[in-house]
């Protein structure tokens, strides 16, 4: 749907500018007016500007706000408050103006006859939110669906936080090391090298290497800025090809240290998605199809596709998963127990908690794991610098000693 930019006046007479998504200008005008604002101007944005606005809206609404929204809706519906009243009350209590607009737009759609799941679709809400809302509407237990959504999104937030914590130390170590090295090469070494040149000393190989590195950094400093950006863009373009995505993802789940993060992340996401979809009553075939779209790893995606094919041919879930190398034996064994006892959702919950805790533990230990590598690289770099500086001095001292 397109976006419309508007200028309005609130109850206090203050001028408010913003943008809102809507099917047509009249619907947007009515939605703004239902919020208590008087619309002065309303203009439809171009397709390009609408895409930018949609991206900005999605970025401005955090997952924690959606979690709070789902919890509040669950509590209010359980208390017997009508859905329209609940949406109005929640929107009035929000500080995020963008999220307010989204909820008011949803409320307006529901007033015109849309279901909650249809009104939530195409907005900032994740796909699982819309799917479980639809299941709740079909079963008549919408408040339970919102509570399940909140629990699921909280686990996804914990997963995201664990990954961020795990990456803080490596990123800081790499950036600080490269910054220190560039400082030496650009500012310190040229002055020292100039002294050696003026003395007419024959420079040894390590010193000449440092000299070339220093000259390169000073002469082509712009390449040091462009290269990382070019590499990032190049990788993104190359990853559009499925084969390259597969091999790069395969590399991330096999590289030392990195594999502990990526592999456990995929396993935690797989188990948690299966848990929430199983609780919602969605068939295993449809659940695996949904998971393959959000797993974010081509190796796991193909493994899930093969698992789905095996199950469609009559295989048990545990047997199909056990044939895929990316899934540890623990996953197949616990699913086997769940199939035998009829409590698959509990087993998926245990697996999800297990891998989330494991990932959290790794994020706390990642500094210790990567520290030897960082120290080794820093040691080699500064050993080269020290050798490059001391060898000419040693030669100078030796010459003075022979005089």
Q: In this predicted structure, what is the pLDDT of residue 136?
A: 83
Residue 149, token pair as written in the block: 């959504």
CB distance 288 to 317 below 8 Å: no
Distance CA 83, CA 81 (A): 6
Q: Where are the alpha helices (DSSP H) in 241-343?
A: 242-252, 258-279, 284-294, 298-312, 317-322, 329-341
Contacts of 213 (CB under 8 A, 6+ apart): 185
Distance CA 184, CA 191 (A): 10
Q: In this predicted structure, what is the pLDDT of residue 282?
A: 81
Residue 236, token pair as written in the block: 């993104």
Residue 51, token pair as written in the block: 């895409």
**DSSP code at position 119:** H
Domains annotated on the chain, with CATH: 3-58 (3.10.20), 61-153 (1.20.81.30), 160-403 (1.20.81.30)
Distance CA 365, CA 371 (A): 10
Question: Within 10 Å of residue 40's Cβ, how many Cβ atoms?
Answer: 12
Residue 146, token pair as written in the block: 């919102």
Q: In this predicted structure, what is the pLDDT of residue 163?
A: 76
Distance CA 287, CA 317 (A): 12
Burial 90-105 (b: 16+ CB within 10 A, else e): bbeebeeebbbbbbbb
Contacts of 297 (CB under 8 A, 6+ apart): 249, 252, 253, 262, 266
Q: In this predicted structure, what is the pLDDT of residue 302?
A: 92
Q: In this predicted structure, what is the pLDDT of residue 57?
A: 56
CA angle 218, 222, 226 (to 5 degrees): 145
In degrees rounded to 5, what are phi and psi of residue 126? -65, 160
**DSSP code at position 45:** P
Mean pLDDT by groups of 10 residues along the chain of 403 residues: 70 67 70 70 64 57 87 89 88 82 81 82 77 81 85 82 76 79 78 71 75 80 83 85 88 84 88 84 85 87 92 90 91 90 87 86 75 78 76 69 58
3-class secondary structure, 5: strand
Q: In this predicted structure, what is the pLDDT of residue 389?
A: 74
Q: Which one, of 124, 113, 120, lies nearest residue 136 by Cα?
A: 120
Distance CA 54, CA 112 (A): 23
Distance CA 172, CA 168 (A): 6
Distance CA 224, CA 182 (A): 10
Contacts of 292 (CB under 8 A, 6+ apart): 300, 301, 304, 305, 308
Residue 295, token pair as written in the block: 């797993």
Q: Which one, of 222, 144, 217, lies nearest residue 186 by Cα?
A: 217
């Amino acid at each position: 749907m397109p976006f419309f930019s508007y200028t309005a006046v609130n109850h206090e007479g203050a001028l408010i500018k913003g943008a809102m998504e809507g099917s047509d200008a009249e619907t947007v005008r009515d939605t703004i007016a239902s919020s208590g604002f008087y619309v002065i101007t309303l203009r439809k944005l171009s397709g390009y500007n609408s895409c930018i606005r949609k991206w900005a809206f999605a970025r401005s609404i955090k997952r924690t706000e959606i979690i709070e929204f789902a919890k509040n809706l669950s509590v209010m519906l359980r208390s017997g408050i009508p859905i329209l009243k609940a949406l109005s009350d929640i929107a009035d209590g929000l500080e995020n103006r963008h999220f307010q607009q989204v909820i008011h737009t949803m409320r307006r759609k529901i007033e015109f006859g849309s279901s909650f799941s249809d009104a939530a679709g195409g907005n900032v809400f994740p796909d699982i939110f819309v799917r479980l809302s639809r299941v709740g509407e079909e079963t008549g237990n919408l408040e339970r669906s919102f509570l399940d959504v909140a629990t699921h999104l909280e686990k996804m937030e914990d997963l995201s936080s664990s990954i961020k914590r795990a990456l803080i130390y490596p990123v800081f170590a790499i950036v600080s090391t490269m910054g220190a090295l560039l400082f030496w090469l650009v500012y310190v070494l040229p002055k020292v090298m100039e002294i050696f040149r003026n003395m007419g000393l024959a420079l040894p190989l390590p010193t000449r290497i440092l000299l070339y590195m220093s000259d390169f950094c000073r002469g082509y400093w712009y390449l040091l800025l462009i290269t990382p950006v070019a590499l990032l863009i190049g990788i993104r373009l190359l990853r559009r090809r499925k084969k390259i995505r597969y091999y790069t993802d395969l590399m991330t789940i096999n590289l030392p240290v990195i594999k502990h993060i990526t592999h456990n992340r995929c396993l935690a996401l797989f188990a948690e998605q299966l848990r929430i979809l199983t609780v919602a009553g969605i068939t295993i075939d449809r659940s695996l199809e949904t998971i393959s779209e959000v797993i974010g790893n081509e190796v796991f995606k193909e493994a899930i596709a093969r698992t789905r094919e095996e199950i469609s041919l009559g295989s048990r879930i545990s047997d199909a998963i056990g044939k895929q190398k990316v899934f540890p034996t623990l996953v197949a064994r616990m699913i086997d127990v769940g199939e035998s006892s009829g409590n698959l959702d509990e087993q998926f919950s245990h697996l999800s908690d297990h891998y989330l805790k494991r990932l959290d533990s790794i994020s706390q230990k990642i500094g210790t794991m990567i520290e030897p590598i960082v120290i080794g690289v820093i040691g080699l770099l500064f050993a080269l610098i020290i050798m490059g500086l001391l060898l000419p001095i040693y030669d100078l001292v030796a010459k003075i000693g022979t005089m």
